[in-house]
Amino acid sequence: MLNIILFGPPGSGKGTQATILKAEYGLEHISTGDLLREERAKETPLGLEAQKFMEQGLLVPDSVVIGMIDNKLTERAALVNGFIFDGFPRTVAQAQALDALLIKRGTAIAGVLALQVSDEELLKRLLNRGLTSGRADDRDAEVISKRITVYNDSTIPVLDYYGLSGKSLCVNGEGSIDEISNSLMSAIKSINTTAQI
Active site residue 37: no
Peptide bond into 89 cis (omega under 30): yes
Partners of 30 in the β-ladder: 85
Instruction: Write down the catalytic residue from 22, 37, 90, 167.
Output: 90
Contact 140, 153 (CB under 8 A): no
| Contact region with ligand AMP (CB under 6 A), list: 40-48, 53-61, 97-105, 109-117 | 53-61
3-state secondary structure of 166: coil
Minimum Å distance from CB 123 to ligand AMP?
A: 14
| Contact region with ligand AMP (CB under 6 A), list: 40-48, 59-67, 75-83, 174-182 | 59-67
Quick note: the x/- pattern for ligand AMP over 73-92, rule CB under 6 A, is --------------xx-x--
Confirm or reject binding of residue 173 to ligand AMP (CB under 6 A): no
CA distance 24 to 156: 27
Instruction: Write down the catalytic residue from 14, 37, 72, 167.
Output: 14
CA distance 23 to 29: 9
Which of 147, 159, 168, 180 binds ligand AMP (CB under 6 A)? It is 147
- Find the DSSP H helices in the chain: 14-25, 32-41, 45-54, 62-76, 92-104, 119-133, 141-150, 156-163, 177-190
Active site residue 129: yes
Confirm or reject binding of residue 125 to ligand AMP (CB under 6 A): no
Using the minimum distance from each CB to ligand AMP, give the nearer residue, 49 or 174: 49
Neighbour tally for 8: CB within 10 Å: 24
Task: Provide the Cα torsion 22, 157, 192, 86; round to 10°.
Answer: 0
Give contact residues for ligand AMP (rule: CB under 6 A). Answer: 10, 32-33, 36, 53-54, 57-60, 65, 87-88, 90, 94, 137, 147
Residues serving a catalytic function are 14, 90, 129, 135, 147
